[in-house]
Structure 1
Amino acid sequence: MTSTLPELDLTSDPVALTAALVDVASVSGEERVLADALERALRTQAPHLEVLRSGDAVLARTNLGRSQRVLLAGHLDTVPIADNVPSRRADGVIHGCGTSDMKAGDAVFAHLAATLTAPRVDLTCVFYDCEEVEAVRNGLGRIEREHPDWLVADLAVLGEPTDGALEAGCQGTLRVEIRTSGRRAHSARSWLGDNAIHHAGDVLARLQAYTPRDVDIDGCVYREGLQAVRIAGGVAGNVVPDECVVTVNFRFAPDRSTDAALAHVREVFDGFELTVTDLSAAALPGLSAPAAADFVRASGAVPRAKYGWTDVSRFAALGIPAVNYGPGDPNLAHTREEHVAEAAVTRCADVLRRYLSADGPDERASLR
């Protein structure tokens, strides 16, 4: 680390800190400068924290001997910049790449880590790399392999954008390729061939007739979905195709294991050849766990199901209840117009400070 690193004031208002984080570009695989700056800020401004560097991830934690530990996790990387760095503030809104997904959440977490010197729970913050790219590069996987003790907690809060709502657990996701075969022929003499694309009609018919489940877990309703997301077949405009591939995506509720999800899809498409191309487990909401129940009360939010897959799944696989809670609007993530409301950042910080504070969930503190 050198003196040319950007200066981050973790004790400043989280709104200002959000803008400062956005101003340090950190596209996936290029997080080092931001990680260096954040590591230096934590080491110099938060002497009450133990700090660990893992690749381009930065971890910090208290060791106060509390009966519970809460983990706040946020990824440092963004999708490629779209002419929206540096940040711009106007009319109570911060514009820029990563504002929503999820540097506003990172700013809240880093601010609380630095300023809460005596929280009522032990606190771990994990700022990790490469979330926006293929799962094998995700920094949480490396941390789990190399520093598993840093991921031990009674509750994990992932700062993914939820627009200030509390989204519990997540859906699992499964993608399969379904192949149909036939025999090539010249399309002028089509009766000599066997059209593989036509055979895919039964696959599409089964999808059209499919009725998804609604599953209520801890008061959160997860709606499943089975959809064709791609179809490919044919080699030329005058050839009867001998192969067709339909890609199907199954978003499944947390009451199904990955094995159960795959068995269900095989049952739906019985008689067809299936190849699995992607499979990630769902995460149970775990809201009955004491730490999670406390957070629900502190937030005042009505928990809802997370539609989509997030890294809460990794924590759930470790037996840790996990929720998504962040100030950004998920509908703005990855867009050129990405932005976050300053009031949403402040509100998120207030809720988490109240939950983590030494006086417990009833404490009122304002960061304004």
Structure 2
Amino acid sequence: MEQPVLDLSQDAAAVTAQLVDIPSVSLEEKHLADAVEAALRALPHLTVDRDGDSVVARTNLGRAERVVLAGHLDTVPIADNLPSRLDADGILWGCGTSDMKSGVAVQLRLAATLPAPNRDVTYVFYDAEEIAAEFNGLKRLAERHPDWLAGDFAVLLEPSDGKVEGGCQGTMRVRVETKGRRAHSARAWLGENAIHKAAPILARLAAYEPRQVPVDGLTYREGLNAVLIEGGHATNVIPDFCAVTVNYRFAPNRSEEEALAHVREVFDGYDVVLTDSAPGALPGLSHPSAVAFVDALGLEPAPKDGWTDVALFSALGVPAVNYGPGDPKLAHTREEHVAVAAVLEAEEKLKAWLS
């Protein structure tokens, strides 16, 4: 494949189309990372570093404050939605338009057009956000090069439909397991059906009333839901094992330990096996840098319904918010798209904040 070249003289919507047309499914971001690195190295006001398929560029102007703008380069698998397509109504269609190449395009345009921002800026472009946390490029950067991510405030340009979203939910997955005894289904009385034993687990989930938790002026909605059921061996065998995978989305004022204790309490009497967990992030909207950001954009903050890498910045002691032009409801869909006007608005608002 011939190495693609990005033209950052075009506006953020056009740059979005350029990015979308360079496929970058998780763990296959190299060509896009190469193009991003080359475009940034051509800008003399930036210092550029790379680790794997993550690229970090910084201004070094000695400003009193440093902000971090971050976005991931990868997408979910392509669903017959490449190349990009711009329709007559100003809608750009294609894989990654919303999540989150429109946000990445805004970052690139700011990097190219603001050689002397009013704050020092670190631009972070990282790989493998859409898959298991062990591959996450931002997590790798935090472990290997935490100084690259240092700042007073961070903005993650995840799709937020042009809203400022504070913090994020924590997320946890557990397997709630039942055991039985195998037998021939013609002589079912000789066995114990582990799938039948899972019925009370589902009943507890159906009766569960999730919390709505106010945190720093924002209300986070929790959720406890079955997302997968495994069990059975054959259509003529009484199963001796069943597992219900449950996803718990919890408010950011609850720690992972507290979240797991709550889940174990809900499923008291069952074997509960933790399989995956990530902490939430407090909104941090009282931090002066966050106040200045919200005031500059003139937007009313909302809670983030979901988990994003603001949690990683929070763990590093950097208050962070989500703000991006894409619509999160369109993320990962075959019909993924973004409005050109929304991309241009995000570019304009962030440029004004940094000017």
TM-score tier (shorter): over 0.9
Partner of 2:3: 5
Q: Which amino acid aligns with 2:77?
A: P
Residues 71 and 157 in structure 1, CA contact (< 8 A), matched pair in contact too: yes
Partner of 1:73: 70
TM superposition shift of 1:194: 2.3
Considering only aligned residues, what root-mean-square deviation do their CA atoms show, in Å? 1.6
Name the CA distance, whole Å, in 2 between partners of 1:187 and 1:78: 45
Q: Specify the SS of the correspondent of 1:51.
A: strand
Aligned length: 354
Name the CA distance, whole Å, in 2 between partners of 1:313 and 1:102: 18
Residues 219 and 303 in structure 1, CA contact (< 8 A), matched pair in contact too: no
Partner of 1:366: none
Name the CA distance, whole Å, in 2 between partners of 1:349 and 1:301: 15
TM superposition shift of 1:161: 0.9
TM superposition shift of 1:202: 2.2
Name the CA distance, whole Å, in 1 between partners of 2:74 and 2:192: 49
> Among residues 8, 15, 19, which one is paired with 1:17 in the alignment?
15
Name the CA distance, whole Å, in 2 between partners of 1:41 and 1:194: 63
Residues 176 and 248 in structure 1, CA contact (< 8 A), matched pair in contact too: yes
> Among residues 332, 335, 355, which one is paired with 1:334 in the alignment?
332
Q: Specify the SS of the correspondent of 1:173.
A: strand
| TM-superposition CA deviations, 1:215-251 (whole Å, max 9, x none) | 1112211111111112222223333322221111111
Residues 182 and 195 in structure 1, CA contact (< 8 A), matched pair in contact too: yes
Residues 49 and 61 in structure 1, CA contact (< 8 A), matched pair in contact too: yes
Name the CA distance, whole Å, in 2 between partners of 1:11 and 1:197: 60
Q: Runs in 1 of length 4+ with deviation above 4 angstroms?
A: none
Name the CA distance, whole Å, in 1 between partners of 2:125 and 2:148: 12
Partner of 1:365: none
Name the CA distance, whole Å, in 2 between partners of 1:230 and 1:302: 36
Q: Does 1:140 align with 2:138?
A: yes
> Among residues 155, 158, 161, which one is paired with 1:160 in the alignment?
158
Note the residue ranges of structure 1 that are not aligned, 5 or more in a row. Answer: 358-368
Residues 298 and 355 in structure 1, CA contact (< 8 A), matched pair in contact too: yes
Cα distance 1:203–1:20, how it changes in 2: closer, same or farther (>3 A)? same
| TM-superposition CA deviations, 1:64-86 (whole Å, max 9, x none) | 12121110001111122233322
Identity of aligned residues (%): 64
Partner of 1:171: 169
Partner of 1:83: 80
| TM-superposition CA deviations, 1:260-319 (whole Å, max 9, x none) | 111111111112111111111111111111111111112222111111111111111111
Q: Which amino acid aligns with 1:74?
A: G
What is the 5 A alignment of 1:49-64? 49-64=46-61
Q: Does 1:304 align with 2:302?
A: yes
Cα distance 1:87–1:201, how it changes in 2: closer, same or farther (>3 A)? closer
Q: Which amino acid aligns with 1:73?
A: A
Q: Which amino acid aligns with 1:71?
A: V
What TM-score, normalized to structure 1? 0.92
Q: Which amino acid aligns with 1:218?
A: D
Name the CA distance, whole Å, in 2 between partners of 1:238 and 1:6: 56
Segment drifting more, 303-312 vs 177-186: 177-186
Q: Which amino acid aligns with 1:58?
A: V
Q: Which amino acid aligns with 2:225?
A: Q
What TM-score, normalized to structure 2? 0.95
TM superposition shift of 1:6: 2.4
Partner of 2:230: 232
